[in-house]
Structure 1
């Protein structure tokens, strides 16, 4: 008979083993140290890059809008250009104005990473913010000026298109806004039509600016306006404007006596650069037969009372936006040609225009398929 001996136990089970001495931790290798240093450096750069605002503006391609079609994104599908008071005709194809998206101005700062990614994208431009925006202007002031410029471009486009059709159009220079700091604000009213400045009869906004230089900033000058159809004459104190020039402290716009009511709904787009395409869209709606013959044509350019097409900013972005929007043809102001050469997107033909007449000739040439003799950049 064998005797079995039991080891001592307690009610909880076998007696625990006593722990041994702690093992020393292995030191980090050089590779691990470099990895951690790189990780935390990258994290710091990421945080700083997203928090630090930099004084640059980024210009990117924006959407296109067909002046012959409906307003994009509107539930009721309203027409972008509508005309009342004159006969209108069916149109085809597209006459689209192009836009540029700008980040980095007042109220919309960009960070370092925004700028780096923009540098890597050939369709974007990075410029010092002071080259794009007035450093002393607020975001509200810039928005107001863009709205006034857009309204002015629509007025001038309407005048040019109607005159091209032989319709009589009389032009007036009107006060659109009076700055709070204008010393003569009590003598002037929004809506005043300026008739005379000093001894100069007003014909254009530039004639007003030139006439004002006959006095020094802070001195008064006699201004004649038409207010509610009646003449008003007042001595208006001037102020110092940009570049130290004499100014009134007002924003001007063109006002016309039109034989028809032309309404343009461009949404939130601001600035003057859609003037040419507005004029073409109005002209097409008021002439028998489609001007484009179904072609998809985009373009850009300011337009003035004489029908001259002026240069614009962001031409590279506008060409890229036009091609992305499906356009095969593009109208560019002739003064923008140096920026066009070498940057035309594949599949886009670019034609140079200097006047509204040039533009209608180019569109008619595209419509007929005869483009070989048309002017190009």
Structure 2
């Protein structure tokens, strides 16, 4: 066989072997890519995303789009060829599998966790929006979860309203842990609560529950890696009563990152005129009850997805600005926000055309 023919044959066989290896060799990576972007002021799957009743609303014709990231499933086995393609592709991002699914988390567990975060983000978005408009919202501290086999199991229940601990009034969720950890493990702590069933019945009747119950629990020693402390085995949260109905209808979306855009959409619906002045604004960011905007993951992919849909401006959490600014899609202005007030001020500038005054993201901030 001529040397040239032999060389070509060998090269072909090596190439085939490499291609086969790329297809059959599995690697511990997952892929992220731009996901759908949905206008919070519009409709999704045939129904309004924001549905408000019991309060006057106004037409809103602009765009306040929330953005998402699409990820491969927990049981997806990426091969080497796909990983290499993802590393080279501009619109995709390949990350270690454990980044998306730590500690062997299953698809079902991840979905449940994302659903819970999404639900909480909706509640915080409603609170932040109404506070921005000066509309009172009733809030109280509740038992959010009870740890199985903990001292609190069977004594306290999810939804119980915590009025005080050892006679000291509770005003915020973090107060509960502070008061419990004043004890040593093995000491007794007294919770004064409105039982969840009585609270639910009072809310349904439009009344305020007043009857309380004292629950005495013996604290246990914490078993985590932190400093030893007294615990009872609950996490505290906040519940709210709104003066009118606000429903957010958006299926197949999880996580807390749409909070800011939901809050702005609610404000826009409850005020005359368009916050955007007809401009296409997208964005992302968690939000808490006080209106503080927090960072999210996959910022570079969200800006790509937003620009592909036509966004001109992107509201970017302050702590994500530097990463987003490293590869900003052409034609998209990244606007730095740290609170809902920042976002509202930015929208005023965008609406009026005063874009030179916008606080823009840079690679340093």
Provide the residue aligned with 1:325 in structure 2.
Answer: 309
Asked if the contact 2:184–2:219 (Cα under 8 Å) also holds between the matched residues in 1, the reply is no
Higher-Rg structure is 1
TM-score between the two structures when normalised by the length of structure 1: 0.81
Kindly report which structure 2 residues correspond to 1:235-250, keeping only aligned pairs within 5 A, or say none: 235=217, 240=222, 243-244=225-226, 250=234
Distance 2:223 2:54 in 1: 41
Is residue 62 of structure 1 aligned with residue 31 of structure 2? no
Distance 1:225 1:333 in 2: 37
Distance 1:137 1:217 in 2: 31
The equivalent position to 1:279 in structure 2, one of 249, 260, 263, is: 263
Higher share in helix: 2
Kindly report which structure 2 residues correspond to 1:197-212, keeping only aligned pairs within 5 A, or say none: 197=165, 201-212=169-180
The equivalent position to 1:371 in structure 2, one of 342, 355, 365, is: 355
Asked if the contact 2:217–2:232 (Cα under 8 Å) also holds between the matched residues in 1, the reply is no
Kindly report which structure 2 residues correspond to 1:116-135, keeping only aligned pairs within 5 A, or say none: 116-135=84-103
Shift of 1:154: 0.9
Shift of 1:336: 1.3
The equivalent position to 1:166 in structure 2, one of 134, 138, 143, is: 134
Provide the residue aligned with 2:7 in structure 1.
Answer: 31
Asked if the contact 2:188–2:216 (Cα under 8 Å) also holds between the matched residues in 1, the reply is no
Asked if the contact 2:56–2:270 (Cα under 8 Å) also holds between the matched residues in 1, the reply is yes
Is residue 100 of structure 1 aligned with residue 100 of structure 2? no
Distance 1:216 1:195 in 2: 22
Asked if the contact 1:223–1:236 (Cα under 8 Å) also holds between the matched residues in 2, the reply is no
Kindly report which structure 2 residues correspond to 1:344-359, keeping only aligned pairs within 5 A, or say none: 344-359=328-343
The equivalent position to 2:238 in structure 1, one of 232, 250, 254, is: 254
Shift of 1:34: 1.0
Output one character per residue of 1:103-136: Cα deviation in whole Å (capped at 9) or x when no partner. Answer: 26x3444333332221111233333333344315
131-140 or 301-310, which moves further after superposition? Answer: 131-140
Provide the residue aligned with 2:52 in structure 1.
Answer: 83
Distance 1:235 1:179 in 2: 14
Equivalent position SS for 1:305: coil
TM-score between the two structures when normalised by the length of structure 2: 0.84
Shift of 1:343: 1.4
Distance 2:339 2:51 in 1: 24
Asked if the contact 1:220–1:238 (Cα under 8 Å) also holds between the matched residues in 2, the reply is no
Asked if the contact 2:63–2:276 (Cα under 8 Å) also holds between the matched residues in 1, the reply is yes
Distance 1:277 1:217 in 2: 44
Output one character per residue of 1:123-165: Cα deviation in whole Å (capped at 9) or x when no partner. Answer: 3333333334431533333222211111111111111111222
Relative to structure 1, is the Cα distance of residues 360 and 112 closer, same or farther in structure 2, using a 3 angstrom cutoff? Answer: same
User: Moved runs in structure 1, 4+ residues, more than 6 A?
Assistant: 216-220
84-93 or 32-41, which moves further after superposition? Answer: 32-41
Provide the residue aligned with 1:340 in structure 2.
Answer: 324
Distance 1:65 1:215 in 2: 48
Give the gaps of 5 or more residues in structure 2.
200-210
Provide the residue aligned with 1:186 in structure 2.
Answer: 154
Output one character per residue of 1:167-206: Cα deviation in whole Å (capped at 9) or x when no partner. Answer: 1112223345445454532222232233345566433333
Shift of 1:39: 5.3
The equivalent position to 1:231 in structure 2, one of 181, 204, 212, is: 212
The equivalent position to 1:147 in structure 2, one of 97, 111, 115, is: 115
183-192 or 351-360, which moves further after superposition? Answer: 183-192
Equivalent position SS for 1:110: coil
Equivalent position SS for 2:48: coil
Equivalent position SS for 2:102: coil
Size of the aligned set, in residue pairs, is 344
Asked if the contact 1:182–1:239 (Cα under 8 Å) also holds between the matched residues in 2, the reply is no
Output one character per residue of 1:197-252: Cα deviation in whole Å (capped at 9) or x when no partner. Answer: 55664333333444454457787644333222342324165574764466655565
Distance 1:211 1:110 in 2: 48
